[in-house]
Chains A and B, each alone.
Chain A
Amino acid sequence: MLKIEHISKTFNPRTVNEKKALSDLSLSLEDGEFVTVIGSNGAGKSTLLNAIAGTWPLDEGKIIIDGTDITSLPDYKRAKFIGRVFQDPLMGTAADMWIEENMALALRRGQKRTLAQGITSAQREQFRVLLKDLDLQLEERLSTKAGLLSGGQRQALTLLMASMNHPQLLLLDEHTAALDPRTAKKVLTITDKLVRENNLTTLMITHNMQDAIDYGDRLIMMNDGMIILDIKGEEKKNTTREELISRFNDLSEEKLNSDNLLLTS
């Protein structure tokens, strides 16, 4: 499904601000796999998602989706394969456009945009059904501007837009981080439902260890631009926050020591 092969990315190379954000990272996802991603601030989680989405070109490595090498495609061309929800609720929708216009735009993701009318009445009906499932009473507000919605409503709408058209890959970057705990929980429940119902291959970054354990089939932990832990199945289900934290400390220390070894040898 998704194959990431030895990707590296250094920001501001050859300057004092040089930062190796991804270093020789490889990852392979099965069809329909729901992976949660954790790691401390600056570990490279968002950078990994940006690399997949094509925000900027990679220094090295390859990204392949369903057999198509997308490494050299710009982000707007990769959108054909990828649905995305950002951490910032303002980024996922066009604030001055109606809910239905936003959804119609998402519906044509990856297809040619013609001079046909932007929204047909059949689509409007389809949107209403999809929105009803969110249970946020948005189905009666199709011609409300997205900018008038609350952060949680906007994230839920963005999620719906990102998962429309069955994208081969869904990228979620701390999409509940800006929401209050109750709304975050609700959006997370919606996420799980959409991912499962549509069998979407998903990468979801979160800072909540418990959510990372409770949701998804596989968990990866990142540190310093690398994946330092990758667990799934029973092992993931049975792990606890405490165990993850202690494993994180061990693993990042191990890494530190091996770095020191390299330096001293």
Chain B
Amino acid sequence: MNLLNLFSRFPTALAQGLIYGIMALGVYITFRILKISDLTVDGSFATGGAAAVMAIIAGASPIVALLLAFITGLLCGAVTALLNSRLKIPTVLASILVQLALYSVNLKIQKGSALIAVSVDRYNLLISSRNLTKSNLTGLLLTAVIIAILYWFFGTETGCAIRATGNNQAMARANGINPAVSRFIGLSMANGLVGFAGGLLAQFQGFTDVSMGRGAIVIGLAAIIIGEVLHSILIPRNFSFMLRLIFVIVGGIIYYMVMVIILWMHIDSNDLKLFTALIVAAFFAAGNLKNKGGFSNAED
């Protein structure tokens, strides 16, 4: 085990942390702001990847491809919201149904193949694991822009209505807010971001895989929870919305740093999922110990 070897892996972890951090910002919208469990994520992440890669192969610029990834993700979230509001299916179940259906849809988008490569040698990509400096700078820039947009949006009348819906539905209704509309906007935005992150990851790793979204929701939750625990330790006096968003990204980066360390310790990569679950459980417990009351009382 040599340390140099470990440090050399950190830039990759940073890039992955940023990409999954953007995805986690989407999860934050549903999980923390709307306070619903949305499992569409595991499907819409791969949808974003599929859309981006197919667009790039068809000749689109990597930016257009990312926009497409965003839009297709957004549509996935919209479908979940509509299943919930129109057919009165509970959001968790509605999102599981969409996730299931998306597996087939993603295969369709990828014309039947489970894995499609998009090599940086043949195509012009925005980020790539072969150019980590550029990838990390681009990732940081994108993250900053997305956080700024989210910060602005949740301060608008519409954004405030969505926050109120997650906070107190009776209050929202009594003030003329239709919770179904709030959930529609929130779920769409959230999965738009998730799809966008999927499009980024596909470019970064140079391929898209229909099952690359498996466990994405867990990574998203891990990033949120790790970020919250660090936030409450590092800056316990300031819980502004901006800082909360920044710490989601920090949580994503820390998650991948920890993963790199685990891999560096030569732990069997088959055990990785087990460690993921353990890390999330450990941070969850740490958060609970710190707040005593538990996360259900400590959110927002």
Residues of A bordering B, CB below 8 Å: 53, 74-77, 79-80, 83-84, 86, 90-97, 101-102, 104-106, 108-111, 113-118, 161-162
Contacts and interface: CB of A to CB of B under 8 A. Distances in A.
A76 B164 contact: no
User: Most chain-A CB neighbours within 10 Å: which of B161, B172, B175?
Assistant: B175
Given A76-B177, A83-B174, A116-B157, 6 more contacts: A86-B170, A86-B174, A101-B163, A113-B160, A115-B153, A118-B160
Contacts of A83: 174
A74 B173 CA distance: 9
B11 interface: no
A20 to B, nearest CB: 25
A122 B153 CA distance: 20
Nearest to B158: A113
Main secondary structure of the interface of B (DSSP, over half): helix
Contacts of A86: 170, 174
B178 interface: yes
Interface string B146-188: 0000000101111111011001101111111111000000000
A105 B168 contact: no
A80 B173 CA distance: 11
Contact of B161 (A75, A91, A95, A113): A113
A75 B173 contact: yes
Contacts of B179: 76
Contact of B171 (A93, A104, A117): A93
A118 B155 contact: yes
B156 A161 contact: no
Contacts of A94: 163-164, 167-168, 171-172
Contacts of A102: 171
Contacts of B167: 94-97
A77 B164 CA distance: 16
B177 A104 contact: no
Contact size range, B: 20 to 34
Interface of B: 153, 155-161, 163-164, 167-168, 170-179, 299-300
B169 to A, nearest CB: 10
Residue of A74, A111, A113, A162 most packed against chain B (CB within 10 A): A113
Contacts of B176: 76-77, 79-80, 108-111
A93 B160 contact: no
Contacts of B153: 115
B160 A95 contact: no
Nearest to B175: A109
Nearest to A86: B170
A53 B176 CA distance: 11
A116 B175 CA distance: 18
A106 B176 CA distance: 8
The 3 A-B pairs at the shortest CB distance, nearest first, are namely A79-B176, A94-B167, A113-B157
A110 B178 CA distance: 11
Contacts of B299: 96
A191 B16 CA distance: 56
A108 B161 CA distance: 10
